[in-house]
């Protein structure tokens, strides 16, 4: 039997980021994870690399391939303006484990068979009969993390399936591409060592898929029908071809935090893969979690505030990414009446991804914020595009200065700010639609 203050289930980007954050706050942590059951690659943006660096995941960061150009065939137009970095997930996952070990985090490589709450915390039963106990549980096992959906505990987007094909080809330059199709879209990548990947994303309700034992032949036919695929892979022989089918449905957990547990990364909210990079989304919710957990454990009188902070940010991130994906789907107008596109061009709602600036609509409210090692409450400035509010700008609390600006002459308010803070404040005001002298 092993006793630990905090148990983290999952050693992906979210679980690793939370573990490192908790270690910096002085908590004992045990991470429990089994290796990914299929080999995959992901295309990530520069902001993902910055997020990994900010989380201290330097070994994982070093596994990213150099930036390469991504071809995009969308709405009948071809472009090659996008750059992405390809992550080999087996290497990346090994890098995450190295980061955990370097931080002194105990890592147990095992399959979780059961998770039960007891009077003092949590009991996790592992394969082989081993049990681990802890006072706090972090669920970071991604989309596959068990979720109780009774009582409207989850919000789901259109049911979506991705079929990933992987095979060994000939060595070739690193590259990736995306193309839209009448019934979905496909992402493809080739690595310098000849490994090839092609993933087809479809609508579950409307797709007419063959039995599982015929899916490989189905995928071969789909690849052969695409001029981009034929050109991209240059008709190379497909050796060691295999297939992995997985859900890529957008899903939001409507209860992502309790007094002694929290869900992070894709276990809290997972969006359609077209909506943005999955690793960036995982890090976005995971980076705030250590302070939330620290507050729940060391300042329980603020528990409600901490839970509210985490839930609001998970939900806001989910909606922001979902709306970005919706707009990208809506930009494809060749097959607007096809079920796949019709279901996704109007979900999750009709609210714009980004609302126009309106200085007159800014308001000051009290809201949960991260202050040092704890969740606290402070005055924030709420706008249409930032419904959770902005607390400070480069260390300058915005609410007091906005209040003064509305009550005093502009020149007097600005004169009281140091030059660097003044320039930052003026830039923010202009971005909010403020016009000097108005």
Same domain, 127 and 264: yes
Same domain, 228 and 324: no
Q: Is a pLDDT exceeding 70 seen at residue 437?
A: no
Structural domain count of the chain: 3
Q: Read off the pLDDT of each residue in 63-91 and give the average, rounded to a whole number.
A: 88
- Report the CATH number at residue 121: 3.50.50.60
Same domain, 309 and 366: no
Owning domain of residue 216: 160-247
Distance separating alpha carbons of residues 283 and 90, to the nearest angstrom: 18
Same domain, 257 and 384: no
pLDDT tens per residue, range 319-347: 999 999 999 999 999 999 999 999 999 99
Same domain, 89 and 145: yes
- CA 256-261-262 angle, to 5 degrees, is 35
Confidence of residue 416 (pLDDT cuts 50, 70, 90): very high
Same domain, 201 and 212: yes
* Residue 275: per-residue pLDDT: 61
- Report the CATH number at residue 233: 3.30.9.100
Distance separating alpha carbons of residues 370 and 309, to the nearest angstrom: 9
**Is residue 309 in a domain?**
yes
pLDDT tens per residue, range 94-153: 999 999 999 999 999 999 999 999 878 999 999 989 999 999 999 999 988 886 544 448
Contacts 24+ apart (CB under 8 A), 149-153: 152/254, 153/253, 153/254, 153/255
Given 293, 316, 344, the domain boundary residue is 344
**Is residue 91 in a domain?**
yes
pTM > 0.85: yes
**Is residue 436 in a domain?**
no
**Is residue 402 in a domain?**
yes
**Is residue 354 in a domain?**
no
Same domain, 132 and 186: no
Same domain, 189 and 282: no
Distance separating alpha carbons of residues 149 and 255, to the nearest angstrom: 10
């Amino acid at each position: 039997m092993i006793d630990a203050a905090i148990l983290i289930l999952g050693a992906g980007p979210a679980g690793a980021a939370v573990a490192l954050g908790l270690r910096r706050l002085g908590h004992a942590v045990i991470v429990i994870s089994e290796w990914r059951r299929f080999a995959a690659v992901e295309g990530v943006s520069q902001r993902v690399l910055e997020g990994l660096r900010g989380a201290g995941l330097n070994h994982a960061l070093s596994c990213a391939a150099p930036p390469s150009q991504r071809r995009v065939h969308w709405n009948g137009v071809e472009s090659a303006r996008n750059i992405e970095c390809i992550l080999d997930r087996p290497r990346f996952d090994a890098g995450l484990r190295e980061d955990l070990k370097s931080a002194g985090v105990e890592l147990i490589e095992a399959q979780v068979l059961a998770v039960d709450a007891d009077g003092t915390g949590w009991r996790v039963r592992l394969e082989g009969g081993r049990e681990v106990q802890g006072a706090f549980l972090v669920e970071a096992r991604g989309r596959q993390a068990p979720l109780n959906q009774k009582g409207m505990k989850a919000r789901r987007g259109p049911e979506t399936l991705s079929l990933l094909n992987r095979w060994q080809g000939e060595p070739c330059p690193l590259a990736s591409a995306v193309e839209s199709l009448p019934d979905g879209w496909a992402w493809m990548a080739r690595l310098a060592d000849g490994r090839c990947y092609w993933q087809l994303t479809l609508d579950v309700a409307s797709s007419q898929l063959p039995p599982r034992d015929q899916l490989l032949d189905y995928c071969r036919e789909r690849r052969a029908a695409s001029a981009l695929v034929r050109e991209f892979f240059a008709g190379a022989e497909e050796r060691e071809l295999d297939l992995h089918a997985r859900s890529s449905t957008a899903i939001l957990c409507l209860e992502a935090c309790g007094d002694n547990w929290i869900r992070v990364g894709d276990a809290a909210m997972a969006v359609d893969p077209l909506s943005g990079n999955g690793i960036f989304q995982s890090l976005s919710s995971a980076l705030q979690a250590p302070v939330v957990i620290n507050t729940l454990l060391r300042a329980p009188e603020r528990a409600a505030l901490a839970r509210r902070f985490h839930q609001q940010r998970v939900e806001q991130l989910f909606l922001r990414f979902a709306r970005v994906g919706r707009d990208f789907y809506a930009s494809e107008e060749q097959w607007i009446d096809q079920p796949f596109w019709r279901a996704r061009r109007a979900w999750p709602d009709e609210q714009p991804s980004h609302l126009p600036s309106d200085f007159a609509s800014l308001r000051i409210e009290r809201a949960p914020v991260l202050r040092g090692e704890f969740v606290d409450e402070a005055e924030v400035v709420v706008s249409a595009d930032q419904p959770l509010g902005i607390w400070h700008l480069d260390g300058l609390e915005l609410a007091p200065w906005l209040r003064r600006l509305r009550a005093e002459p502009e020149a007097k308010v600005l004169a009281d700010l140091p030059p660097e803070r003044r320039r930052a404040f003026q830039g923010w005001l202009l971005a909010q639609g403020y016009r000097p002298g108005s």
